[in-house]
Amino acid sequence: MDEKVEHIIERDEKALGSSMKIRLFPLVAESAKQNIITDVDGKEYVDFTANWGVASTGYCHPKVVESIKKQAEKNTFSSYTTVLTESGVELAERLIELVPGDFEKKVWFGLSGSDANDCIAKMVPLATKRNRIISYFGAYHGQTMGSLSMSGHTAQAKFVGSGNVVKIPYPYCYRCAFNKNREDCKLDCLQFLEEHVFKTVCPPEDTAVIIVEAMQCDGGDVVPPAEYMEELEKICKKYGILLACDEVKIGIGRTGKLFGFEHFNLTPDAVVFGKPIASGMPLSGVVARKEVLDAGIATHLFTTAGCPVSTAAANATLDVILNEGLIQNALEMGEYI
């Protein structure tokens, strides 16, 4: 390890708690451009990780930087809870336009994927007057109490979450929970949902929402069979259960479509986004049926959410992703890799 890197790592070990760390390599960033991170000793790294899927526009894209600078010179902060900004409204309108669904939608802004998934955990039960939630083994929805309750990941196995969440197996055909092969299976995992889960611990008439990653990321990068997702939507419709897609990691162009669920014939009632939306400035959000996000005034809000620097960064990020061929590039590179 070079001298400066080593010294800063020693200081970090003393000063910062391990609860906020996943340290996979000794990297202390000084600057970053496009896909290159330069450390404090001048060593360059090609970033194949996109920093946990956030750096979809690369580092310091000139359009994003310009938009942040312009906004920061005017005003670095006002709380969207009370003082609205044009860039916030513009971003919300664009998201409503971009998310499919022939029904009235609204937008909620937060700071991280976790608080956005908490929005689902709180607002859908409130809106539907049904208190149960279904989520998946292997799911990762975040670290706050609502989102960790819906997660089924080993990372949160040490915590006891909220008791209203029932978890079902993800359609992971390579390691099928029902020991089936795709060829001899009749979507047994969905039969399990209807025949066992609904008939025992989670009556469908009490179930507000099923939250799913249209491709399970931290659970192993699992792509479900298309029929599963489509049948799941039918089951939701049959019982009046809302379907929420967590797009925090696969959304905003990463999979070669704007949203990962667009690989399936699916129209979710709520879409959760985060990570790359503002090129790393803190911003997350939910686009959902109007009645979900209007279910109660001041029921899920964060003081710094929707801050103008973040919404300005997000508008520029969307411009770059939509207008500079990044989605097509993701598709082509995905095929190639």
Q: How far is the CB of 195 from ligand PLP (least distance, A)?
A: 28
Are the beta carbons of 213 and 250 closer than 8 angstroms?
yes
| Residue among 135 and 198 whose Cβ is closer to ligand PLP | 135
Task: Check the CA dihedral 158-162-163-164 and report its sign.
Answer: negative
Q: Which residues pair with 34 in a beta bridge?
A: 59
Q: Residue type at 27?
A: L
Q: How far is the CB of 230 from ligand PLP (least distance, A)?
A: 21
Q: How far is the CB of 140 from ligand PLP (least distance, A)?
A: 5
Q: Residue type at 239?
A: Y
Q: How far is the CB of 93 from ligand PLP (least distance, A)?
A: 23
| Residue among 224 and 274 whose Cβ is closer to ligand PLP | 274
The rounded distance, in Å, linking the Cα atoms of 271 and 92 is 13
Q: Is 306 helix (H, G, I), strand (E, B) or coil?
A: coil
- Residue closest to ligand PLP (Cβ): 113
Name the site residues for ligand PLP (rule: CB under 6 A). 112-114, 117, 140-142, 213, 217-218, 246, 248-249, 274-275
CB atoms within 10 A of CB 247: 30
The rounded distance, in Å, linking the Cα atoms of 36 and 53 is 15
| Residue among 146 and 274 whose Cβ is closer to ligand PLP | 274
Q: How far is the CB of 201 from ligand PLP (least distance, A)?
A: 25
| Residue among 88 and 146 whose Cβ is closer to ligand PLP | 146
Residue 217 backbone dihedrals phi, psi, to 5 degrees: -85, -75
Packing angle, helices 86-98 and 308-323, rounded to 10: 40
Coarse DSSP helix, strand, coil percentages of the chain, rounded to the nearest 5 percent = 40, 15, 40
Listing DSSP states for 193-234 in one string gives IIIIITTTT--GGGEEEEEE-SSBTTTT-BPPPHHHHHHHHH
Give me the numbers of helices (H) and strands (E) for the chain, helices first please: 11, 10
